[in-house]
Amino acid sequence: MTSASDLASLAALLADETRAAMCLALLDGRAWTAGELAAHARVAPSTATGHLHRLIGGGLLVERRQGRHRYVQLAGASVAQLLEDLAARIEHRPASPRGLRAVTANSAMRRGRTCYDHLAGRLGVAVTDAMTHTGLLDQTSGFALTTAGLAWLTDTAGLRPEDLRPGKRPLARGCLDWTERRQHLAGLAGAKLCETFLGNDWVVRIGSGRAVRLTLNGKAALRDLLGLSDVN
Amino acid sequence: MTSASDLASLAALLADETRAAMCLALLDGRAWTAGELAAHARVAPSTATGHLHRLIGGGLLVERRQGRHRYVQLAGASVAQLLEDLAARIEHRPASPRGLRAVTANSAMRRGRTCYDHLAGRLGVAVTDAMTHTGLLDQTSGFALTTAGLAWLTDTAGLRPEDLRPGKRPLARGCLDWTERRQHLAGLAGAKLCETFLGNDWVVRIGSGRAVRLTLNGKAALRDLLGLSDVN
DNA sequence: GCAATCGTTCGGCGGCCGCCGAACGGAAAC
DNA sequence: GTTTCCGTTCGGCGGCCGCCGAACGATTGC
């Protein structure tokens, strides 16, 4: 039985603006050093240390010590999913009074980004839609790959079959996009597909953030593989 | 762009033990009066008022005033899902040192309960498993109803087709059960199926909580409809 | 060995917030 | 009308917690 105090202490981990900023930064899926997170959240290193202790102790983050650096990252895809769910709730809210500037300033982010370990933004949604229209993905009564979709991933997109064995993590999962308000492909297949895109330089990261850019090679690949012509 | 302060203030709503207890109580999907929630959480009525203001203002709860009573309930299925996701994270934690008493005291809850508006516990998992084994549900590469499953819901289980039009809410969704650590059927289909179970007296609520009991009629129905013989 | 850098621990300060009781308003029961 | 009950507002108290700076360890680089 879940006790209220357990729920409260879990929520308390994210109920502080500094810790929330750290977790959102870590949503890019990469490992950050303690100092980087401190600077990003604009607090003193000593303050960051305390926060990281709590987040690690609470199971949201894991650490990897390396020399005099302490790298931390999200404890797994389930944590990332939880954060995305929370973020989606926020963006859902009717008529949030935010200026235009914040929107335009993040146009690259809206165009395409990684959501922990899979593609999101307009790019992620476009790929998901194309897969749905070509019968690779079934969204009519849930969110699942078809047998054609499974074959496409390995034979056409070039994923390794052994990477797609469903274990604890579901193969396909819908992840609600908070800019597009649409679902996009997450889960194991989404992660491996994103890995392939990055490995083939179909998309490249912009700077150090989560935003990604579709390359010319990528445009061609999307056209060939999915019949997608006008992305972004 | 989701700002850290938005995430923090959303999480802060659940970061208090009293508010968390209220939300968990409301997970039964029904409307509670302010006084009932105050008593349940063991705080003064004035304290409860403040908490309810925050929860309603934050969009997690909605209120319905009726006479001198103020009824509140969860703002929707998405809130319930969020709470269940958080609860699942807690129960996931390795080796939580909890006594046997808490487990046995909640054996009815583990056997079967409602999870906001669908069935959970061993009963919910058993139904979901049976639907999977009989080809009504596809869990191999996601979580989706098959065409046979859709037909079964309306023709055999007796759901009204007009109740299963997918709108904003997905038809089928997996909801992780925090006692069984298994997925069970949620989403629109899960809700309507649960409604049918309750309406036909296949399951009845135990007392005023979330726990439910399978009736003799229910046992027979599960055997007839799904070939399920030994539930619970 | 010395300096620079990264992270940690510790003490103390300040503010937020959850709690209650008392008083009040409104609706229902009689 | 009177009483009772439910919920609210307000003021004040107490504790938790997030913040920093200073001092210290640890590691790397020179």
pLDDT tens column, A158-194: 999 999 987 778 899 888 877 787 889 999 999 999 9
State percent of chain B over pLDDT 70.
Answer: 92
Name residues 198-227 of chain B within 8 A of A (Cβ).
none
Per-residue confidence (pLDDT) for residue A96, from 0 to 100: 45
- B133 in the same domain as B178: yes
Number of domains in chain B: 2
* Three-class SS state of A162: helix
- B134 in the same domain as B89: yes
> Which pLDDT tens digit goes with each residue over B9-49?
999 999 999 999 999 999 988 899 999 999 999 999 999 99
Per-residue confidence (pLDDT) for residue A13, from 0 to 100: 97
- B206 in the same domain as B150: yes
Give DSSP secondary structure letters for A39-57. HHHT--HHHHHHHHHHHHH
- A87 in the same domain as A47: no
Domain termination residue (choose one: A75, A95, A121): A75
Residue type, A3: S
Please report, for residues A52, A77, A106, A161, A165, the alpha-carbon distance to residue A188 in angstroms, rounded to integers and kept in the order given. Answer: 28, 9, 27, 12, 9
Q: Using a CB–CB cutoff of 8 Å, tell me whether B85 touches chain A.
A: yes
- B142 in the same domain as B171: yes
Q: Answer whether residue B158 shows pLDDT above 70.
A: yes
Cross-chain residue pair B2–A91, CB shorter than 8 Å: yes
- A70 in the same domain as A84: no
- A63 in the same domain as A149: no
Please report, for residues A75, A96, B137, the alpha-carbon distance to residue B176 in angstroms, rounded to integers and kept in the order given. Answer: 18, 31, 16
User: ∠ CA(B199), CA(B201), CA(B158), 5° rounding?
Assistant: 50
Residue type, A16: D
Torsional class of B91: left (φ above 0), alpha (ψ -120 to 50), beta (otherwise): alpha
Query: Could you tell me which of A131, A82, A91 has the C-alpha nearest to residue A110?
Result: A91
Has residue A232 been placed in a domain? no
Has residue B37 been placed in a domain? yes
- B123 in the same domain as B204: yes
Has residue B170 been placed in a domain? yes
Q: Where in the sequence is the domain holding A88, given as residue range(s)?
A: 80-226
Q: Answer whether residue A208 shows pLDDT above 70.
A: no
Q: Using a CB–CB cutoff of 8 Å, tell me whether A151 touches chain B.
A: no
- A217 in the same domain as A201: yes
> Which pLDDT tens digit goes with each residue over A186-195?
999 999 999 9
Residues 6+ apart with CB under 8 A from B206: B108, B212, B213
Domain termination residue (choose one: A18, A40, A75): A75
**What tokens were used for A119?**
């593609």
Rg of chain A, C-alpha, whole Å:
19
Domain termination residue (choose one: A41, A75, A109): A75
| Cβ B229 vs Cβ B223: under 8 Å | yes
> Which pLDDT tens digit goes with each residue over B173-226?
888 877 777 889 999 999 999 999 999 999 999 876 788 999 999 999 999 999
Has residue A231 been placed in a domain? no
Cross-chain residue pair A172–B106, CB shorter than 8 Å: no
Q: With beta carbons under 8 A apart, name residues in chain B contacting A89.
A: 10, 59, 78-79, 82
Q: With beta carbons under 8 A apart, name residues in chain B contacting A59.
A: 89, 93
- B114 in the same domain as B58: no
Q: With beta carbons under 8 A apart, name residues in chain A contacting B6.
A: 90
- A215 in the same domain as A100: yes
